[in-house]
A and B are shown apart, each in its own frame.
Chain A
């Protein structure tokens, strides 16, 4: 079974600076999808960014980008120019095209200091 590991329970960043959140996963599949979701204190899960494993190019969405290392099974999220509104729990998730569910990591709580 696929597992997702987020080794940083908490991270902190100064406003306007850059922070990287780590995620590793375990799978024997060659094709799959990876996601980063943000869950603010209001609790609604919001998609931040997604990556298809067959694409070598790292996904980017404005200030958010990923470093996808397929061989190392690593999928880190970089947040540039951090803003106070970025403060939230961040979850890394894995989805197989053959399965019906997503596997989530335990999450990283990001604090942004003014």
Chain B
């Protein structure tokens, strides 16, 4: 079946603009995760959804970052007033349920803030 998909694959924006990054998880996966990966680093956790609710948003760096998953499937990561430091690869992952299950990653969205 289809894996996790993310759009766009690349996004270039100007400082201060608003961006939305989309994640389409594997069908039937109830758990969805967002990570941020800076160049040369491992991914860092941002937020976790179980169904429609954000069960854990402790990794969001500040209130400019927000994510939704209104129907329990597709999720959108929203970044307001982008800063150059937000430039990174944003990865989405899903798993059948929370807990021990393996997370399956999408190809990521590379965000560049000029």
The complex places the Cα of A11 from the Cα of B45 at a distance, in Å, of: 26
Give bound CA distance, A25 to B33, whole Å.
22
B89 on interface, CB distance cutoff 8 Å: yes
B48 touches A100 (CB 8 A): yes
* Contact residues in B for A37 (Cβ distance below 8 Å): 105
Contact call A35/B45, Cβ cutoff below 8 A: no
A-contact bits for B32-54, CB 8 A (1 contact / 0 none): 01000000111111001000000
Interface bits A91-114 vs B (CB < 8 Å: 1, else 0):
101010100111111110000000
Interface string of A15-49 (1 = CB under 8 A from B): 00000000000000000010101000011111100
Complex contact A44–B42 (CB within 8 A) = no
Which B residues from 61 to 114 make CB contacts under 8 A with A?
A: 89, 91, 93, 98-100, 102-108, 110
Q: Closest residue to B107 on the A side, CB-wise?
A: A44
Contact at B102–A104, with CB atoms within 8 Å? no
Contact A106 to B40, CB < 8 A, known contacts A44-B105, A97-B100: yes
Q: In the complex, what distance in Å separates the CA atom of A100 from the CA atom of B103?
A: 11
Q: Which residue of B lies closest to A31 (CB)?
A: B100
> In the complex, which residues of chain A have a beta carbon less than 8 angstroms from the beta carbon of B41?
106-107
Known interface pairs A101-B45, A104-B42, A107-B41; A33-B100 also in contact (CB < 8 Å) = yes
Q: How far is the CB of A30 from chain B (nearest CB, A)?
A: 14
Q: Report yes or no: B42 in contact with A105, Cβ–Cβ below 8 A.
A: yes
Whether A52 is near chain B, meaning CB under 8 Å from some CB there, is: yes
Chain A CB within 8 A of B20 CB: no
Task: Tell me if B107 and A42 are in contact (CB < 8 A).
Answer: yes
Report chain A residues within 8 Å CB of B45: 100-103
Q: Spell out B's residues near A (CB within 8 Å).
A: 33, 40-45, 48, 55-56, 59, 89, 91, 93, 98-100, 102-108, 110
Interface residues of A (CB under 8 A from B): 4, 33, 35, 37, 42-47, 50, 52, 91, 93, 95, 97, 100-107
A-B contact pairs, 18 of them (CB 8 A): A4-B42, A42-B107, A44-B105, A44-B107, A45-B93, A45-B105, A50-B102, A91-B42, A97-B99, A100-B98, A101-B33, A101-B45, A101-B48, A101-B56, A102-B33, A102-B103, A106-B41, A107-B42
